[in-house]
Each structure stands twice: as structure tokens, then as C-alpha cells.
Amino acid sequence: MANTQDIRRRIKSIRNTAQITKAMQMVAASKMRKAQQHALAGRPYAALMNKVLVSLQKRTDPKFHPLLAVRPLQKELVLIISTDKGLCGALNTNLFREATKFDSAKTAFVVTGKKARQFIARTKRELLADFELKDDPTFVEAKPISKFCMEKFLRHEVDKVSVLYTHFINTINQRSVVQTLLPISSFDLPKKEAGEAESESVDPMIGYVFEPNAEVVLDSMLPYYVSYQVFQMILDARASEHSARMVAMKNATDNANQFIKDLTLEYNKMRQASITTELLEIATAQMALGG
């Protein structure tokens, strides 16, 4: 049975741990707010880009563009967007659980994040490239990733490119998502933009003229669209990471504080029992002397 000295030592150790997790929680909360703002700010722009591409699809024959070419699947390239650090709950675990569903014989991987690199090495899967990004990446820094994927697809080295990342829903909820990047199948308008089913066939950019023509604009926009899609997924993954880490560190801090309360109660009970025993011994001795 632990004595009071052991309990005091454990309380001190847990209190030090709680201070660390509290500090990490505050840092993650600060980064989380900024990352969430960046992730959410880009979504209206992506929706507007989709409207333009829907209009271009209706004015051109997009099947002749190489980024839209659908081929029999012989080899697939999967881009995994993970974190560099741990302590973010089950975020990476859920991500890699989805990665194990891909056939390793027909799949090659591109990763960003140390955790994904370690997972690929541990599971002995084919790794084509490993990209490093800062904690707050810019579009220019993320563009080489999409460029590498597009080159592999255009050279017919792979027939499909998918992205595995964590989609940001809110601070509490994040979901691992596999999204097809190439070939680009279709551009969907958001429901609030599309309206009723009968209005979905209407050109959303009626009254606009594309110069020099719709085909040239489509050829220019598709590579940019792919790059922006990857960048938006990276922003989502960053917002998910900081949100998950903040929640995990808050839970760790709360659990540590509860553990300290339980140990303090146990410590006080042991002290009270020790004091009661001493008083009984003193009273017994006095009675023996008096007798």
C-alpha cells in the first residue's frame, strides 16, 4: 500500500504533467483559430471556381482534356496529408486505417507529414515522394505537391490520383476522407447555388463571355483547380490537426486535474487515519500511566 510520501510524489508528477498539457492546449487553441479561419475562408472561393468550371463544361467538350481522361485502373497514386507531430487524439490512426484499405500492389503513395512517412516505411508500401510543409503553408509552397501528382498522371505512370486527408467539420468533429483528385470527373454546384433539380442544367454564368474562348480558359483553369483543391485539403487537414490536439490536450488536462483531486483525497484520508492512530496511542499510553 502506498504511503503518504509516495502519494505526494505522484501528485507532484501529475501536476507537472498537467501544466505541460495545459500549455500545449493553449498553443493549439491559438493555432486552431488561425487554421480554422484559413480553411473556412477558402471555401467560398472554391465554390465560385466550381461555378465557373460548370459553365465551361457546358460550353466545351471537356473529354479531350488530358486531366479529364478516364483510363482503366492499373496503378493508383494516393496523396496522404498527415501531421508532423502526435498528441492529437485518433486523427492519424483514423487516417492510416483508411490507407490500409488500398491494395499495396497497385498503389503508390505521396506523403506530407512525418507521421505518414513513418507509416509508409513501417508497412513497407511504395513511396514516390515526401513533401515537407510549414505549419502555416502558403499556396506557392503547396503547389509542387499537386504538380508532382499531375505529372505522374499525364505521363500515364498512374491512372488515378486520390487524396487521403482529414476534413474539418468543426472543433469537435473531423472526418478522414478519400477524395479523387484525377481524373477530374465533374464539378458540382453547392445545393444552395444549384437550387431545384430542374435548374441544375442551367449555365450558372449566363451573361459572361470567356476570352479568348471557353476551351482556352478551361485548359488554363484545370491545373490551377487541381492545385487549389490540394491546397484547400491541406488547410482542412491543418485545421483538423490543431482542433484535435486542442481537444486531446484539454481532455488530458482535465483527467490530470481529476486524478490530482482523487489522490489528494486519498492522501488526506491516510493523514487523518495516521493522526487518529497517533491520538489513540497517546490516549492509551496516558491511561496506562494513570492506571
Shared domain check, 260 and 150 = no
* pLDDT tens by residue, 212-245: 887 888 888 889 988 998 999 999 999 999 999 9
Amino acid at 231: F
Shared domain check, 204 and 143 = yes
Active site residue 88: yes
Give the chain's domain count. Answer: 2
Shared domain check, 276 and 166 = no
Q: Is 10 helix (H, G, I), strand (E, B) or coil?
A: helix
Shared domain check, 283 and 205 = no
Q: Look up the domain containing 128 and give its range.
A: 27-247
Shared domain check, 267 and 207 = no
Strand order of the sheet with strand 107-112?
126-131, 107-112, 76-81, 160-168, 174-182
Shared domain check, 191 and 139 = yes
* pLDDT tens by residue, 148-189: 999 999 999 999 999 999 998 888 888 999 988 888 865 554
Q: Is 195 helix (H, G, I), strand (E, B) or coil?
A: coil
Shared domain check, 67 and 206 = yes
Retrieve residue 187's grid coordinates.
464539378
Candidate list 32, 53, 78, 88, residue with the active-site label: 88
Shared domain check, 197 and 72 = yes
Q: In sequence order, which residues have a C-beta less than 8 Å from that of residue 177 and are 6 or more positions away?
A: 164, 165, 166, 167
Shared domain check, 9 and 68 = no
Shared domain check, 242 and 139 = yes
- Strand runs labelled E in 104-262: 107-112, 126-131, 160-168, 174-182
Residue 195: which CATH number?
3.40.1380.10
Return the DSSP state at 64: G
